[in-house]
Each structure stands twice: as C-alpha cells, then as structure tokens.
Amino acid sequence: MSTVLVTGGSGFIAGWCIRELLEAGHDVRTTVRDLRREAGVRAQLHAATDFDDARLTVLAADLQGDAGWSDAAGGTDFVLHVASPTLRGAAMDEAEMIAAARDGVLRVLRASRDAGVKRVVLTSASGAIVYGHPDESRPFTEEDWTDVTADIAPYPKSKTLAERAAWEFVAREGDGLELAVVNPTAVLGPMLGEDDPPSLRVVRGLLGGAFPVCPPFGTGWVDVRDVADLHLRAMTDPAAVGERFLATSGRSLRVVEIAGILRERLGDRAAKVPTREMPVFVARAMGVVNPQLRALRPQLGHDFPSTGAKAERVLGWKPRSVDESLVDTAESILAYSAAS
C-alpha cells in the first residue's frame, strides 16, 4: 500500500478521506495548522474506525506559509489536497481568500513535485463550475467554468481561481506530476466529531428552526462518504489523470424540497423545519439587512443543476441517494446536539 498525504486533517471531507484511506490499508500523513488539534483528529478517527496509531502521522503546516510542506510531502506517493479557506471563523475579505486558496494550492503542488509525488488529487468545488452562467436549462458538466467576472461570492471565486492555477502549474512546471480534481456540490453526511462543517449549516438551520421559511435556491447535493470514495478512485485510477470530476448525487433540489424530505423522514423530530419557500424578491430585499441572506445573494433564485455522470462512467463511482444522505446527516446533527 501507499503513503498518502491529506491536507487539512481536521476538516469534514479530509476526515472522511483519512478514514477511507486507513480502511483501505494506506499509511496516512495529515496536516493541521496547530498541533494542538492532533488529539482531536485522532480521537475522531478512532471513533470511526480501528487503526494502529503508527499508521497516522499528524504534522503542522499552514497554507499561508511555506514551513512544513516539504516535510509533509516528502516520501509520500499521493497527495489529497483537501484544505482550503472556508466560511467559518473570522471573516476573510475576497482578496485574502483568493490569495490564500491560490497560494496554498501552489505551495502544495510545488512541495509534491519536489518530493516526487506521483499524483495530487485537488478538492475544488462545483462552485468552480456553476456560477455566472445565464443559461441553467441543462445540467452543468466538467466542461463548464465559473465566470469570475460575474456577481459571485468570494468563496466560489477563490475555488475557481485556485483550480485554474493548479492546472496551469502542472502544465508549465509540473515536471511529470499528475493532477486530478474533484468538484463536490453541497456536501452532506454524518459528522466524525462535534465540528460545525459549513456545508451542513443549511440542514442544521432547518432542524433548529433558524429559518422561518426556506431560502429560495437549489443546488446539487452529495454525501461526504461518496466524496471520499471519489477521491480514492481519482488517486489510483489511470483514467483520472488530467480530469475533473463533479461529485453530485444527480438531483438538484431546492431547500424547500430538502425541508420536505426531512419532515417526511424524521416526523416530530423535524417539527421546526419550515414548509414554505420565501419569495425571491423578498429574500433579495431582506439580504440588505440580514447577513445570512446577504451571503446567499448570488444563489437566490437559482438551482445550479449538475451531473456526476462522468465520474460514474469513467471511475465506476456510485453515489448514494440524497434522501439517504439527508437522513444520516440529520441523525448525526441531532445526536451531537442531544449530547452537548
């Protein structure tokens, strides 16, 4: 088996990637910005699977600095670059977010190339594909790119520019380094610990009554376990080299449809979940004073349909249904809420 570096080991997607790698027999290194998080990372993984502690190494490295990356990549066969600036914690302005994402990708790629890594799998996002297009009448595919000159939020803009920088680096300076990219839609699924993944905040908000009515937008959805599976397939399959893969269950659902599934499947435990969708014009007007709606402004009124057919056809990937993923997500959120 191989030695694999997973960046951002305390994150939602990275944690599941590490779990899948350990269960597949690989040795894993992972990075965190602060080694004080190592104990938490190990505890989450031990709760999720059995493994020898010697097979997991946790190292300190920050995407905004060069220190630690050559040590992290040295002696590894593959790299899953999952870490990226996110929407949690202190606010980061657009320029800072773009620079952090792009420069972080380039740091990891340079370290991987210099260490003789065979392949890097980059976690991008559907946000690098679906935004800024006037026509949403067909599902978006890997051939599409987000228009960064359009009115879009900083996070998808940063993911788009970071992914483009990655492809350009490999083409010009990669020196044989292979690259594959995974572009997940909105990520659902059970938590490995008591973290607050930004991708689960819509479901958490619906269950907790944070939304009196549903925000008016839709998107594709995918389970984090299937995202991790796709990363491992893209890591090892020769057909993945030089390719992007949308990770989506194939159904673009509006938030009000998600709410309906939760109420149907969870019964009384979803009593706070709203049943109506806010009109788009109201949501846009309220976004002037409501920070949550303001952050959703580029999504309001859109559905962003996309297809994971390429990953299914090329890599044999089979995502689970949105309904199954939603129930598992809700059960996980409710369990941690009850325990806290």
DSSP output for 250-307: S-EEEHHHHHHHHHHHHGGGGTTS--SB--HHHHHHHTTT-HHHHHTGGGTT----B-
Look up tokens 């600095």; give the residue: 65
Catalytic: which of 159, 272, 310, 318?
159
52 dihedral zone (left: phi>0; alpha: psi -120 to 50; beta): beta
Q: Is 310 a catalytic residue?
A: no
How far apart CA 307 and CA 299 sit, in angstroms, is 18
Stated as kind and residue range, the H or E segment containing 218 is: strand 218-223
How far apart CA 176 and CA 301 sit, in angstroms, is 43
Largest alpha-carbon pair distance within the chain?
A: 58
How far apart CA 123 and CA 126 sit, in angstroms, is 10
**Active-site annotation, residues:** 159
